[in-house]
Structure 1
Amino acid sequence: MKICFFGSSLVSSYWNGAATYYRGMLKEIAALGHDITFFEPDAFERQAHRDIADPNWAKVVVYPATPDGWQRSIDMAAKSADMLIKASGVGVFDQELEIAAAGIPSKATRIYWDVDAPATLEAMALDPQHHLRRTIPSYDMVLTYGGGDGVVSAYRAMGARDCVPIYNALDPATHYSAPPLPRFGCDLGLLANRLPDREQRVETFFIDVARSLPEKTFVLGGCGWETKDTPANLRKIGHVGTADHNAFFGSGLATLNVNRDSMARYGFSPPTRVFEAVGAGACLITDQWDGIDHFLEPGREVLVASTGAEVADHISGLSPDRAHAIAGRARLRILGHHTYRHRARQFSDLFIGSSSRIEAAE
């Protein structure tokens, strides 16, 4: 099957949290024998901040971030694709691409792949004229990287023919234990870009915790935090490229996951950081959200906190031996059930099933 995929970027993680999800998923889908072309815009300085070369398992087409650029790309894809996928959050000309991918003449199966379903669904709920309200029913299937039954039900209510979560996962070839680096050393680390619907939660679960534990050390990686007021025991280190993620996750006593507001409300939305951190051998602390026990067992494989005070309690009472034990159990669980190889097989099975349904309908 020839798959043409329109996403934010495959080759750069710069301001692009979906990069590792795309890489993990598409590499394993290609390993099942599928031919993949990834279309991404030349936007947001991502080409100047590449952190991988073009992979041997996908052709990468970088198109100008102009009306002519996206139009020529979608026209080219529509002529050759067996499956045409538009991911959410490309960042430029999303509306135009979403409408075109659903309606352009083509033999291809049309897939809308939402990498931030809670945010997309909330945008549609707030805007009765949102273009996706008209467009989603034209796609053959909606895939999401999180959300559980709440997201599935909401998308079906919006007219989706079908909606299936394909959750984030671990790529063991890219996220694994690495020697710690002193510049990342701390009691608690967090890797997260500064975003409006996550900043308050980062303040509550991380920055305020650092203020309450002046004897502990904290490291904050990610873009946008330069102007944020933080305590002296918290180091801000800016963007951390994917080549350094393993060392980042493995250099602290524990790593924190903080979901964005909308993801926490919907639940069942583990970000890529959960699996990457565990794969790199981190002891993970996460804010509370419904569905965490679907992926990791609280108290045994992950530490869960519903408040900043609970994060502080976890860190205050966490010994290196216990952190190591939690990290080891979590990694075994993820390797056994939540790798991108597992997700790719799910995708392939879904495609065969959806193709059968589409052919029967025709």
Structure 2
Amino acid sequence: MNIAFYGSSLLSSYWNGAATYYRGLLSDLARRGYGITFYEPDAFDRQQHRDIEPPDWAKVVVYPATEDGVRRVIAEAAKADVVVKASGVGVFDDVLIEGVVAASRPEAIRIFWDVDAPATLAELAGSPDHPLHRAMSSLDLVLTYGGGPPVVEAYEKFGAARCVPIYNALDPSTHHPVTPEPRFKADLAFLGNRLPDREERVTQFFLMPAARLRNRAFLIGGNGWETRAMPPNVRALGHVYTREHNAFNCTPLAVLNIARDSMASNGFSPATRVFEAAGAGACLITDAWEGIELFLQPETEVLVARDGLDVAHHLEALTPERAGAIGEAACRRIRAEHTYERRGAEVDAILKETAGAKRERAHDAA
């Protein structure tokens, strides 16, 4: 089957945390025989900050972020067997969801793939005229990259025929242990863009422990932090390219994961960074959220913090030996149970099942 995928960007992770998720899943589907065409807008300077060039496993169409540009790529949906509109493209999202549903063939599988389900569900609850409400009855599937039972239940209440979480995972070929690099040396490192629904939690879980532990070195990577006041023992790196993630994760004593407000309150939503850090053998400290035991075991494979004080206590008690043991255990668990090969197999089965059901319905109708 040929897949037309309309997303934010496959080529760039610049202000685009979903990039490695797209790459991991779609490259696996390509290995399973799917033809992949990824449509991404030339927007937000992403093309000037590419992490990769177009891969051999996908055709990438970069279109102008204009009305004419988006209309041209919408028309391409008519050629595909599977049409996917991802959330958070960033430009013409409303036009895209209505357009690709209308342009796709009746026998095609139509999917809305939500990479920020709690935020989208909040929009749906607050906007009765949201375009996704109108498109929902025409969608065969809603796939999400997290959220667990609460998200599935919420989408079904909004009329989704079927909602399935396809969680973030690890691609061992891209994220793995490497030799540490001195420029990433720190006691605790955090990687994430500065976003309104994350900043307060970054203050609580990262900046407050840094202010408390003035004799420790802290490192923060991601866009937007350059203008934020920081304690003197915090070093801001700016954007960290995906090719640098392994060294960023391997070098510090520990790496911190901080969920966005909506993800933390909903639970069952491990960020891409969790799997990338664990895959690199990092000792991970994460803020607490429901469902973490499905992915990593607290105390032996991950350290869980309820607040910034817990983060400080974990860091003060952490030795290089224990950090190494936790990182190695996490790496084993993630490689065994949470790879994009496993996620790809799950998506492959869902697509084949959905295609078969559509054929049966068409036969019965005829």
Give the shorter-chain TM-score range: over 0.9
Q: Which residue of 1 aligns with 2:191?
A: 191
The residue correspondences of 1:40-189 to structure 2 (distance < 5 A) are 40-78=40-78, 80-106=79-105, 107-189=107-189
Q: In structure 1, the residue corresponding to 2:113 is in which secondary structure?
A: strand
Contact between 1:110 and 1:140, CA under 8 Å: does it hold in 2? Answer: yes
Shift of 1:357: 2.0
Shift of 1:105: 4.4
For residues 128 and 207 of structure 2, what CA distance do their matches in structure 1 show? 37
Give structure 1 regions of 4+ aligned residues with deviation exceeding 4 angstroms.
none
Q: Which residue of 2 aligns with 1:15?
A: 15
The residue correspondences of 1:187-266 to structure 2 (distance < 5 A) are 187-266=187-266
Q: Which residue of 2 aligns with 1:348?
A: 348
For residues 102 and 298 of structure 1, what CA distance do their matches in structure 2 show? 43
**Over the residues paired in the alignment, what is the CA RMSD in angstroms?**
0.8
Q: Which residue of 2 aligns with 1:276?
A: 276
Contact between 1:82 and 1:108, CA under 8 Å: does it hold in 2? Answer: yes
Shift of 1:104: 2.2
1:127 alignment partner AA: S
Shift of 1:33: 0.8
2:84 alignment partner AA: I
Contact between 1:86 and 1:101, CA under 8 Å: does it hold in 2? Answer: yes
Q: Which residue of 2 aligns with 1:331?
A: 331
Q: Which deviations, in whole Å up to 9, do the C-alpha atoms of 1:284-331 show, x marking residues without a partner?
A: 000000010000001110000111100111000000000000000111
1:121 alignment partner AA: L
For residues 77 and 350 of structure 2, what CA distance do their matches in structure 1 show? 21
For residues 271 and 224 of structure 2, what CA distance do their matches in structure 1 show? 19
Q: In structure 1, the residue corresponding to 2:226 is in which secondary structure?
A: coil
Q: Which residue of 1 aligns with 2:316?
A: 316
For residues 206 and 137 of structure 1, what CA distance do their matches in structure 2 show? 43
Normalised by the size of structure 1, how large is the TM-score?
0.98
Contact between 2:83 and 2:104, CA under 8 Å: does it hold in 1? Answer: no
Shift of 1:279: 0.8
Contact between 2:226 and 2:238, CA under 8 Å: does it hold in 1? Answer: yes
For residues 39 and 7 of structure 1, what CA distance do their matches in structure 2 show? 6
Gaps of at least 5 residues in structure 1 are none
For residues 147 and 170 of structure 1, what CA distance do their matches in structure 2 show? 18
Q: In structure 2, the residue corresponding to 1:226 is in which secondary structure?
A: helix
Q: In structure 2, the residue corresponding to 1:255 is in which secondary structure?
A: strand
Q: Which residue of 1 aligns with 2:36?
A: 36
2:95 alignment partner AA: E
Normalised by the size of structure 2, how large is the TM-score?
0.97
Q: Which deviations, in whole Å up to 9, do the C-alpha atoms of 1:250-291 show, x marking residues without a partner?
A: 110000000000011111001100000111110000000001
For residues 342 and 162 of structure 1, what CA distance do their matches in structure 2 show? 20
For residues 45 and 136 of structure 2, what CA distance do their matches in structure 1 show? 30
Shift of 1:10: 0.4
Shift of 1:352: 1.1
For residues 73 and 130 of structure 2, what CA distance do their matches in structure 1 show? 24
1:349 alignment partner AA: A
Q: In structure 2, the residue corresponding to 1:196 is in which secondary structure?
A: coil
Shift of 1:63: 0.7
Shift of 1:137: 2.2
Contact between 1:81 and 1:108, CA under 8 Å: does it hold in 2? Answer: yes
Q: In structure 1, the residue corresponding to 2:348 is in which secondary structure?
A: helix
Q: Which deviations, in whole Å up to 9, do the C-alpha atoms of 1:213-263 show, x marking residues without a partner?
A: 111110000000011111001001110111111000011000000000001
Deviates more, 1:172-181 or 1:101-110: 101-110
For residues 279 and 257 of structure 1, what CA distance do their matches in structure 2 show? 14
Deviates more, 1:100-109 or 1:160-169: 100-109
1:58 alignment partner AA: A
Overall identity of the aligned pairs, in %? 57
Shift of 1:103: 2.4
Q: Which deviations, in whole Å up to 9, do the C-alpha atoms of 1:184-236 show, x marking residues without a partner?
A: 11010000000000000000000011001111110000000011111001001
Contact between 2:80 and 2:104, CA under 8 Å: does it hold in 1? Answer: no
1:42 alignment partner AA: D
Gaps of at least 5 residues in structure 2 are none
